């Protein structure tokens, strides 16, 4: 998959695995400082290890928090719904992370979720990480760890379109697995997420 890495100018990055987010956050934090994070995912990705591996796609944001790359009090996760051990959940909440489950999204709607995101991240420089499995498998079957009960593509799109205030400095879209895709609908969803992000960045006046 083509990777176009962020250099602090808000460019997107296409990556096959969530682990790719970590070096991007490291690079950006060296240039900008501690970041806010908007994280769409079915999984918290804050396990200290993942299937015996210290660095894996399920431990990305554990390391990002431990390395002080991101401010967990300005981190919000949207679409969470996978099974997770109580100690991992408690560790994540205990660090100050805001979790908006998929059920929360369905119950409150995109406008309320977007406002909650804006309240959490404030005016901090913000990184967007979008794991395609935040979408329900009906809308994004082409991924390695699907979870039922996820966001509809229109919900994710409606949330993103309401995030016009934050100072986005970079983003990634991860976990698209073409081998599992059907009629390229997952690829279309991922491409549209990138388009929505670029539209957000492009809507801001040039300095």
pLDDT tens digits for 53-81?
777 777 899 999 999 999 999 999 999 99
> What is the pLDDT, as a whole number, of residue 53?
75
C-alpha distances in Å from residue 188, one per residue of 32, 41, 47, 170, 176:
31, 17, 30, 20, 10
Across residues 27-43, what is the average pLDDT?
97
Please state the domain extents for the chain: 12-202
> What is the pLDDT, as a whole number, of residue 52?
76
Asked if pLDDT for residue 50 goes beyond 80, the answer is: no
> What is the pLDDT, as a whole number, of residue 165?
87
> Please, are residues 25 and 128 in contact by the beta-carbon 8 Å criterion?
no
Q: Which residues contact 42 (CB under 8 A, 6 or more apart)?
A: 79, 80, 81, 82, 102, 131, 133, 134, 145, 146, 147, 150
Asked if pLDDT for residue 7 goes beyond 50, the answer is: no
Across residues 8-37, what is the average pLDDT?
78
CATH 3.40.50.360 fits 12-202, yes or no: no
Report the Cα–Cα distance between both ends of the chain, in Å, rounded: 32
> What is the pLDDT, as a whole number, of residue 13?
56
Per the DSSP assignment, residues forming a β-bridge with 50 are 53
Q: Which residues contact 34 (CB under 8 A, 6 or more apart)?
A: 68, 69, 70, 71, 124
> What is the pLDDT, as a whole number, of residue 59?
86
> What is the pLDDT, as a whole number, of residue 48?
87
> What is the pLDDT, as a whole number, of residue 20?
85
Nearest CA-CA partner of 57 in 70, 68, 44, 69: 44
> What is the pLDDT, as a whole number, of residue 83?
96
Nearest CA-CA partner of 25 in 12, 6, 40, 38: 6
| Euclidean distance between CA atoms 6 and 28, whole angstroms | 8
């Amino acid at each position: 998959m083509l990777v176009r890495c962020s250099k602090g100018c808000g460019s997107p990055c296409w990556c096959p695995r969530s682990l790719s987010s970590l070096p991007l956050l490291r690079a950006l934090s060296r240039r900008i400082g501690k970041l806010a994070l908007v994280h769409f995912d079915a999984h918290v990705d804050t396990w200290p290890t993942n299937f015996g591996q210290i660095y894996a796609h399920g431990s990305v944001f554990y390391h990002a928090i431990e390395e002080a790359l991101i401010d967990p009090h300005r981190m919000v996760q949207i679409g969470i719904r996978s099974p997770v051990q109580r100690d991992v959940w408690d560790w994540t909440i205990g660090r100050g992370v805001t979790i908006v489950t998929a059920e929360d999204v369905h119950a409150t709607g995109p406008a309320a979720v977007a406002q909650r995101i804006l309240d959490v991240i404030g005016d901090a420089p913000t990184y967007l990480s979008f794991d395609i499995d935040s979408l329900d498998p009906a809308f994004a079957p082409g991924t390695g760890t699907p979870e039922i009960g996820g966001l509809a593509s229109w919900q994710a799109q409606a949330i993103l379109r309401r995030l016009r205030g934050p100072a986005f400095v970079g983003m990634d879209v991860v976990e698209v697995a073409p081998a599992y895709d059907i009629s390229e609908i997952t690829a279309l969803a991922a491409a549209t997420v990138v388009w929505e992000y670029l539209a957000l960045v492009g809507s801001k006046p040039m300095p």
